[in-house]
């Protein structure tokens, strides 16, 4: 029990240390690889991303990797699509399997589809007639384990790849999370702490950074010189959440959740959410994500709603989730998710 408490204390200390991760609203837009922040999964998006303390199973990979260790099934599959802002599509897939005495291993893949963009130059600002298709890709490997009947931990390593026209960048980022059920011996109360997107800087490279120029003090003609792109940091965050399963009679269930997300390169966020379930088969969800310190024209997200259904037959569980998240200035986000557990 001592090592469990030690892990929890360390994560809580880091999460509440402002010198380690100060709110980064004044540094908005200076980090890169922001596709890491795009949420996935209909259940948790519908709850405003607040349920990091109780998210479980294959849904948990993005939100809190510790939750995958609490899956009721030995193997899981998930497929999700999001219609994001500005006609951007986000495709996500994940698979996990548990090994007795070892823990749970999971793989995940996220792809961001932006579509074709016209090539412009200084001489042809209206376009050259050519197009390019940016590609943003993230692949993750997760290991999670239950340390006791109450505590689980998880670690994800993400490989990041960004390809824009003739330049590209790659890097790695790590997420670490812990989930504690029945906190303080209070049945239904759970705590979650997650650190995300921790890793070295990235930088773009490639032939697109080469420019033809003539050096004035050299006796040579025009030559190609390479521009060294400045490195950029990852959008690191720390999130602390609490959830409570409200005791209810009969076949109904209610879970309420809240979390605080400290962002290193944008304004801090507060999230609240709830999920009502009937017979563990039908689900209604709602949430709200807000950033009080952000100005009215810099934060685009807000309320979210969703529903889900899951059916179990012959030891196979099939779940379908839908979420809608309101956005300012753009049409809202639509998320559909299919899950299989067996």
pTM score, whole prediction? 0.87
- State the total domains in the chain: 1
Flag whether pLDDT at 277 surpasses 70: yes
Question: How confident is the model over 147-161, as a mean pLDDT?
Answer: 95
Q: In the chain, what is the greatest distance between 2 CA atoms, to the nearest angstrom? A: 88
User: Rg (Cα) of the chain, in Å, rounded?
Assistant: 22
DSSP code, position 77: E
pLDDT per residue as tens digits for the range 10-63 = 444 444 444 444 456 566 677 889 999 999 999 999 999 999 999 999 999 999
- What is the Cα–Cα distance from 248 to 337, expressed in whole angstroms? 28
- What is the Cα–Cα distance from 301 to 287, expressed in whole angstroms? 11
pLDDT per residue as tens digits for the range 279-298 = 999 999 999 998 888 766 67
Flag whether pLDDT at 248 surpasses 90: no
Flag whether pLDDT at 229 surpasses 50: yes
- What is the Cα–Cα distance from 55 to 166, expressed in whole angstroms? 40
Q: Which residues pair with 317 in a beta bridge?
A: 312, 341
- The 10 Å Cβ neighbour count of residue 200 is 11
Predicted confidence at residue 24, as pLDDT, reads 60
Pairing of strands 131-132, 117-118: antiparallel
- What is the Cα–Cα distance from 272 to 48, expressed in whole angstroms? 6
Predicted confidence at residue 3, as pLDDT, reads 46
- What is the Cα–Cα distance from 245 to 282, expressed in whole angstroms? 16
Higher pLDDT pick, 90 / 207: 90
pLDDT per residue as tens digits for the range 207-217 = 888 878 777 77
- Segments forming the whole domain that contains residue 90: 2-341
pLDDT per residue as tens digits for the range 92-129 = 999 999 998 899 999 999 999 998 888 888 888 888 88
Flag whether pLDDT at 67 surpasses 50: yes
Predicted confidence at residue 25, as pLDDT, reads 57
Integer angstrom CA distances of residue 248 from 46, 188, 251, 255: 22, 12, 8, 10
CATH number at residue 60: 2.40.160.40
């Amino acid at each position: 029990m001592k090592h469990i408490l030690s892990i929890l204390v360390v994560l809580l200390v880091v999460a509440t240390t402002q010198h380690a991760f100060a709110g980064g609203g004044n540094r908005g837009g200076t980090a890169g690889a922001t596709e890491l922040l795009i949420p996935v999964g209909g259940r948790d998006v519908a709850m405003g991303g607040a349920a990091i303390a109780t998210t479980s199973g294959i849904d948990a990979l993005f939100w809190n990797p510790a939750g995958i260790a609490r899956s009721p099934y030995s193997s899981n599959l998930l497929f999700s699509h999001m219609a994001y802002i500005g006609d951007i599509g986000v495709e996500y897939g994940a698979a996990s399997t548990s090994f007795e005495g070892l823990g749970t291993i999971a793989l995940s893949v996220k792809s961001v589809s932006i579509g074709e963009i016209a090539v412009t130059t200084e001489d042809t600002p209206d376009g050259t007639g050519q197009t390019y298709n940016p590609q943003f890709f993230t692949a993750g490997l997760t290991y999670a384990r239950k340390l006791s009947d109450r505590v689980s931990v998880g670690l994800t390593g993400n490989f990041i790849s960004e390809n824009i026209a003739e330049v590209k960048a790659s890097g790695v980022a790590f997420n670490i999370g812990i989930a504690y059920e029945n906190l303080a011996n209070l049945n239904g109360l759970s705590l979650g702490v997650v650190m995300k997107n921790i890793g070295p800087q990235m930088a773009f490279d490639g032939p697109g950074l080469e420019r033809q120029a003539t050096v004035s003090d050299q006796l040579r003609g025009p030559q190609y010189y390479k521009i060294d792109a400045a490195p950029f940091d990852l959008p690191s965050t720390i999130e602390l959440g609490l959830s409570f399963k409200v005791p209810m009679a009969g076949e109904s269930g209610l879970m309420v959740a809240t979390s605080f997300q400290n962002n290193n390169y944008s304004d801090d966020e507060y999230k609240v959410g709830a999920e009502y379930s009937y017979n563990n088969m039908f689900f209604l969800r709602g949430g709200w994500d807000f950033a009080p310190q952000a100005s009215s024209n810099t934060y685009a997200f807000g309320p979210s709603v969703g529903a889900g259904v899951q059916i179990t037959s012959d030891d196979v569980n099939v779940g379908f989730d839908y979420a809608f998240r309101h956005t300012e200035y753009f049409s809202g986000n639509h998320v559909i998710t299919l899950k299989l557990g067996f």
